[in-house]
Structure 1
Amino acid sequence: MTVLTLTPLPFVYAPPSTTCKSRASFSLSARPELQQDRRRSIKAMSRDIRSSDLPQVIELEDESDFEKILSSENQISITGFGSLLSERSARSTFPDLENFRIAKLQGFRRVFAHSAPIFFERGIANPETKEISSLSVEPCEGESLVVTVFEIKSSEIPAFIRRELEFRFLAVVPETMEGKPYTNSAVLCGRYSDEEFFRIRCKGNKEIYFQHYGRFNIDKIWRDDILPCRLYLRHCVLAAKNLGDEAYNNFLDHTFLGDRRTTIREYLSSTGSGIMEEQPPEALKSRYGG
């Protein structure tokens, strides 16, 4: 199996926060030569937080790290928080997925702060209004998300890495809806950074960046001043609603715009009013139908 090296960086994962009680810190799987620097970073991030209060999270740095969290059935668990809240949507990407179910994830929040080229490719981005954002998650102590979890074959890992290359890959431990931690870790796509994406994933090569983002005139991926792509937001809300009231209300109240203050419930009742009444183009009705 070809190893895709993703990132040798020290993991300092603490984006600006206005709604979190405090920034979260994590227990990391680090290469020996980086362990000391990472410990210093973590300590600086969490002076007033007891480590026992926080989720245990491991950064998956390359394909071999994914293999370490395979189940005995040679499968890997995936955590869905946006479009993957929809089983139909998940199966359009992972046709052979198994055991699709809802779960809880502690210590993270959803934020619309990620410029997504797929919306430009499909003609549903609106750069004039800045309605171009997809979802990512980031640490937020005290937050709890209703998510989905499912299993895919280990042979699908390379394609998953390539498809989600702009994210930071994390191994997290979801819980059942009753609060019991899972036995196996699950992969979560977390917020990355522009600097890391260009220097590590694009190897500092502007042509590689152009193929991913530049051809859509996107010069910054991770932004706090963009709004949700309208059809994508509608799709995610419908997907959450189809999972039941708890998932639906959790999505509305624990998903934020890039300002990290405005919830999606507030957004849909103000500036974003009318989004839920819009219909996708015929060719995208299945993809963005919730």
Structure 2
Amino acid sequence: MAIVIKTPEQIEKMRVAGRLASEALDFVAPHVQAGMSTKELDRLCHDFMVNVQGTVPATLGYQPPGYPAFTGSICTSVNHVVCHGIPGDKVLKNGDIINIDITVIKDGYHGDNSRMFIVGNASVAARRLCEVTYDCMWMGIAQVRPGNRLGDIGFAIQTHAEKHGYSIVREFCGHGVGQKFHEDPQILHYGRPGTGEVIRSGMIFTIEPMINAGRREVKELPDGWTIVTKDHSLSAQWEHTVLVTETGYEILTQSVGSPAPPAFISSRLAA
């Protein structure tokens, strides 16, 4: 599959889809509380996406070759679940951390993003993992500009995570996105600088590092989707969809409720 360089018209549609995906996370944020089930979070998001936004939940019924059809309109990955958690009867409790991953389709284009949420008063270790993972995502985003290489993104993420004693999940990665949910290129969250595809203006892809507090090994549960850490350690993930511009990058999955960029990014933007 060749990398799709988006036209100005396609980019504008991706801006709309990305903003709507982020606004769906804004909507669900107040509902992420102890006592709420992941199934109920899924129902709330589904109703908001379909009936308020007029978008299509991309994950509902999604079925790549070799997988069962996904049954949720969102992914809900709690504590040691790395990714692709299926909404169900799991009830959130004080101290949990949860990644909510939402992809919407609007006018044929996908907006894809995820955030970590902390339920009540989580441990210092859980909060630190979420914060460092957020910084890892932004470390990768900061490498996005024409002429750099995809390996620069992965190297920045891996270096920051390992500096804090964490490990990088290697079985899953970021990806190009547009009219298809998953396009080329693959965006690895580890790697060597100066390697990989050259980054070009007009590319659109996700950066979505999955960082484990313990070892990097993961396993798939019998449902065919849910991925967990083998050692049962906590895992965190953040995701943005990024457009490569002529001078750097533009975050497409941005909305009023988006968490602010970390200080090291804000200071660069102000310079």
TM-score, with length taken from structure 2: 0.31
Q: Which has the higher helix share?
A: 1
TM (norm. structure 1) is: 0.29
